[in-house]
Structure 1
Amino acid sequence: MLPFQTAYLMSISLMFAILAGNHALPIFLRFIIWVLSKIAPQNSDAQSAFDFLLHHPRRCYIYLFPSHQTWFLVLCLVLLSATEWLFFEVLDIGIPFFEALSTGTRIICGIFQGLSARAAGFPIVPMSSLAPAVQFMYIIMMYIAVYPVALSIRSTNVYEERSLGIFETPPEGTDDGPADLTEYGPRERVGRYIGWHLRRQLSIDIWWLVWGVFLVAIIERRDIMDENLKWFDMFHILFEMVSAFGCIGLSLGLPTDNFSFSGALHPLSKLVVIVIMVRGRHRGLPVRVDRAIMLPSELVKRDQNLNLNQNYVPEESGQSQEYYGYQGSASFSSDREERTNSYSS
């Protein structure tokens, strides 16, 4: 991508493709469905289908979220992209390659490299020539790139079931949700809730990356300690491992060859990188299988278990069963029976 720094139309087109196919996929998807619901004929089957997708997105697709969660993704996308662009423009001042760029090229390259660092891995500027602080910032961004979507998947799985009136008490002693948040204000409630999901995600991910870097450091000890290989250091290893864990593809490269830093690793280290890539590729999936990706036979078994609890309502609540959604409407009950019969057959 280095020769295309001034190809602005190509860069803007690639930025749109990077967003539409990666971190902004839920945003684009919901926007398209919303537009189709507005132009579809009134009271038609198509409009009913679009409305169902908008009101119960997680029952149908794992990357389709409710409105509030989609706006959360928009906010995260804007904040992360603005942070990357600002640091790129400020921290690289005085570096020769940056000073050689025109003002317009700096702006486009900063935006493009920020989006690419969290998704595609196309270097439009020489990564090894960037300021050390910018390189470290890209390490952080590559690691946290999947978190907004992953947190949305985990959080909406719970609320999608509640929106349809499906309650299932988790077994005692399991950490299936944050502590009672009703005693906190709205802002603190949101912060604690996001923090809870973030801690769960970190507890799953961080150890794979730690052990991967540790094993590569053991295997590559001789080259790391070689005085003639100043470029072969722990920072390059960390950058390469985080890029592999995030399935990004960025690399600081080599000063002697025209390929990524992974090419200089021993075969056993490359095997560790492959394992980290496979594990990192799956960290955006739900912790538990939800309705969006359940097999028909599993849905039948789950519906049968839920039917056992339909007639139970806490007496102290003072609310009817219809309020909690256990009985629901006749159409909803008949729809469940039809789905169950079709799955069984």
Structure 2
Amino acid sequence: MTAQGRVLSKRARIRLLWLRLHRWVGLALMLLLLAMGISGMALVWPDATERLFHAERFEVLAADEQMPPSALLAAGGEALLHGSRPAQLQLGAPGSAAILSSEVGGPPFLNLGPPRRTHVWLDPADGHVLSVSVETPDALFVARAVHGHLLVSTEIRWLVALTGLFLLFMSGTGLWLWCPGLRSIWRSLRWRRQLGRSMNLHRHFGALASLGLIAQGLTGIFLALPWLLNSAPHDPPSAPTRPVVAPTQTLDAVQASAQQLAGTARLQMVQLPTEAAPSWLLGFSDGSEVSVDDASGTAELLPPEHDHHDGLSGLIHRLHGGDFGWLHRALLFATGLALSMLSITGLLLWDQGRKKRRG
């Protein structure tokens, strides 16, 4: 029975119960879901996000010119902190910056993500420094830390899975509360003046994005708890060792030896020899990797590593990450936007109801 004395049917009472659960669970998780939506949008197009916050990293002079990797390594090494040794050089696609990473400079920031390193962005045309990140997190780091483990220890992944479970609950109950039946779906998508702007936006965003939110919540649970698919998580990285002070081989000689085995593939990555593993590692655009012994200069084409993203686990990774083209990424971006809008309009609806009850 309602406050007005009307007797509710069993169906109406069930609907009211689910509505209250939907409202209070959503209110409790509003900030969390908003953070997941915004960080998800940022990760769908990482290059665009990085360009938005760090435009200087993309101010490359000429797209068709590139200095030898050895010259880029020397130029970037001068920008590293005093005493810090270069560890890896990444060569992007033509027209994008080269990135030199230093050795590990400290533990992970807030114990989240990879260890701290200094990164130097270089213009491949002339080697001048575009940007330097000195062991501090940038926008993409924050987005990954929020979306991947909620700024909590990476060991507590069950919190991420629990968030995915709540997202399933909110999407499922919201869809059930909205669904008017197959014959009236288009009619229910109309803008209703009597409901107000916040309620109309909440209903429309929820209805249009519900299936995408369910898919993201479900795949997010499996990614957070890989044992559900009998898929072991990635092995933790071994303790980092320092690069050697003065390699025996020059990068030019190492590249020449490796290129003979890689053929016409373009060099994309150079990992310098370390005190524990005194060999160069070079990665090429076709996915091949070549190891070059620093003492003898002998090059060896390495066998392809096992892809952790094979099978069902790989499919889930690709579905959650938007790996099926620009349309897939656009749909995921729209899903993140809808989740953010649902969180905001849900809060507005709660506040409007609170004021109405007080009035």
TM range (shorter): under 0.3
Higher helix residue share: 1
Between 1 and 2, higher relative CO (CA 8 Å, sep ≥ 6) is seen in 2
